[in-house]
Chain A
Amino acid sequence: MIIPHEPKEREALRQHAAEALKGLYQGEAVASPWVGGRQAGLRRLEALDIDRYNREHNGAHQEATSGLSPYIRHGLITLREARDSVVSRFGAAASRNFVIQLLWRVYWYLRARQRGVASLVDAAAGATEIPVPQVASSPLCIDEALRCLRATGFLAYHPRLWVASYFLHWLGIPWRQGYRLFQEHLIDADPIVNALSWRWVLGEETGRPYFFTRAQVERCTGGQLCARCTIYRCPFEGTPEAVEERARQPRRLFR
């Protein structure tokens, strides 16, 4: 079946796509704030303020990151273009953090070439019987990340890790289910990066599971989420070792 593709203003395009793609998507036909197309990607790249990026890229809010991952994932701008643009404008030293993030993508793709690793990705991507997890109320850092994921199709880097760590180490949700949740909602969802990132949080890539602490959440959110969180006792309080120890106890969620 052919789907017409005449250029129109965004809302008209959304309405048209909502109808033309009916039956192929889950949930409401809401557009992401991320506008598709190479031009939008180039505008983001050109607008990138490297000083702000270096200061804030570990922040939890969406604009803390470069926001380029949907464009890179879909081949609308290349890693090489992103690297060249930033290094030529800001120099090598200031571009270091940004280039490291670009290189992680290369790393996951190279890792996926390894025998056992490729079959893991295939198995996760091919599985159809695994349900997407439904999670009841959680600490606010998790709730807020999940709300943001569903509402916009995008999450900054740290909230992705928090959700994954909470699902795997606290709720005991199998990584493939978490993988499916991200695969369903993220506009930059990529089977390889997604699967291997979940495995990384699990500790399968490094031999060291990823745990986060309340102090990290406070730092990444300017303390705003923790101040509003109504959970009885924060499970992420203390050092990473203390958090890990707590997660391994039988009654691990102290509500």
Chain B
Amino acid sequence: MKQVVWLLEDSLGPIDPALRALPEAPAVYIYDEDDLRAHPTSFKRLFFIYESLVETFAGRSAPCEIRRGNLVREMIDFCRKYGAEEIHVTRSPSPAYRLWTEQLRHTLVVVEYAPETLVKWSGRPPRRFLELWEQAYPQLLPEEKPGAGEDEES
């Protein structure tokens, strides 16, 4: 079964797990017009994405495309163009992603890759930052002691 790679805003670099897994597969990024019209976005972010894609795609020998339009329709058209039935994508936590993949799965197979994580965490989500910090610091700063303040934020 032929495959393509679908890039999303969360993972635009050549280190994207799906891109790395399939170096020979055509890859695409799509600016979704419906989403962008519904949510005002400055040129700065769209251009940051574009600049990033230009660099990522320049380093790839397989065909790569940037498109704009209805995401699902453009994605299906891209797959048809390359005779692909399988979309490989790094899972995104964004709410729009769930809707897009649901629709794409009506006609195509979507294979998801896990994004890289910094800290292993299982069970219920932490209630406070300190709870995460206490579990994470031995993995992240092995010589350090806990005691992170809660007054800081990313």
Binding site for B on A (CB under 8 A): 1-7, 10, 13-14, 17-18, 20-21, 23-32, 34-39, 41, 69-70, 73-80, 83, 87, 91-93, 95-96, 99-114, 117, 121-122, 125-126, 128, 132, 150, 152-153, 157, 161, 180, 183-187, 189-193, 197, 200, 206
Q: Is the CB of B126 within 8 A of A110?
A: yes
Q: Is the CB of A184 within 8 A of B132?
A: no
A98 CB to closest chain B CB (Å) equals 10
Check B80 for interface membership: any CB of A closer than 8 A. no
Q: How long is the Cα–Cα vector from A112 to B94 in the complex, in angstroms?
A: 10
Bitwise interface map of B from 51 to 77 toward A, beta carbon under 8 Å scored 1, else 0:
111111110000011111100001000
Contact size range, B: 35 or more
Q: How long is the Cα–Cα vector from A77 to B118 in the complex, in angstroms?
A: 12
Which one of B15, B55, B121, B128 contacts A7 once the chains associate, using CB atoms below 8 Å?
B55
Given A7-B55, A110-B121 in contact, is the A104-B129 Cβ separation under 8 Å?
A: yes
Q: Cβ of A41: which chain B residues have Cβ within 8 Å of it?
A: 13
Nearest B residue to A39 via CB reads B55
Q: Is the CB of B90 within 8 A of A75?
A: yes
Q: Is the CB of A193 within 8 A of B154?
A: yes
Q: Cβ of A93: which chain B residues have Cβ within 8 Å of it?
A: 141, 143-144
Q: Is the CB of A161 within 8 A of B153?
A: yes
Check B102 for interface membership: any CB of A closer than 8 A. no
B11 CB to closest chain A CB (Å) equals 3
Check B1 for interface membership: any CB of A closer than 8 A. no
Binding site for A on B (CB under 8 A): 9-16, 31, 33, 36-58, 64-69, 74, 90, 93-96, 115-119, 121, 124-126, 128-129, 132-133, 136, 140-144, 148, 150, 152-154
Q: How long is the Cα–Cα vector from A18 to B36 in the complex, in angstroms?
A: 15
B110 CB to closest chain A CB (Å) equals 18
A83 CB to closest chain B CB (Å) equals 6
Nearest B residue to A78 via CB reads B116
Q: How long is the Cα–Cα vector from A28 to B46 in the complex, in angstroms?
A: 12
Q: Is the CB of A21 within 8 A of B95?
A: no
Q: Is the CB of B118 within 8 A of A25?
A: no
Q: How long is the Cα–Cα vector from A37 to B37 in the complex, in angstroms?
A: 25
Q: Is the CB of A1 within 8 A of B69?
A: yes
Which one of B14, B46, B64, B119 contacts A5 once the chains associate, using CB atoms below 8 Å?
B64
List 13 additional A-B contacts (Cβ < 8 Å) besides A25-B41, A37-B13.
A1-B68, A4-B66, A5-B54, A7-B54, A17-B43, A24-B41, A32-B48, A35-B51, A78-B118, A125-B95, A157-B153, A189-B45, A193-B154
Q: How long is the Cα–Cα vector from A240 to B67 in the complex, in angstroms?
A: 49
Q: Is the CB of B57 within 8 A of A5?
A: yes
Which one of A4, A39, A92 contacts B144 once the chains associate, using CB atoms below 8 Å?
A92
Q: Is the CB of A25 within 8 A of B46?
A: yes
Q: Cβ of A105: which chain B residues have Cβ within 8 Å of it?
A: 154
Q: Is the CB of B43 within 8 A of A29?
A: yes
Q: Is the CB of A31 within 8 A of B124?
A: no
Q: Cβ of B121: which chain A residues have Cβ within 8 Å of it?
A: 106, 110
Can you sample 8 A-B contacts with CB below 8 Å?
A3-B66, A20-B68, A28-B43, A74-B9, A75-B13, A87-B141, A103-B133, A153-B45
Which one of B11, B41, B119 contacts A74 once the chains associate, using CB atoms below 8 Å?
B11
Q: Cβ of A39: which chain B residues have Cβ within 8 Å of it?
A: 55
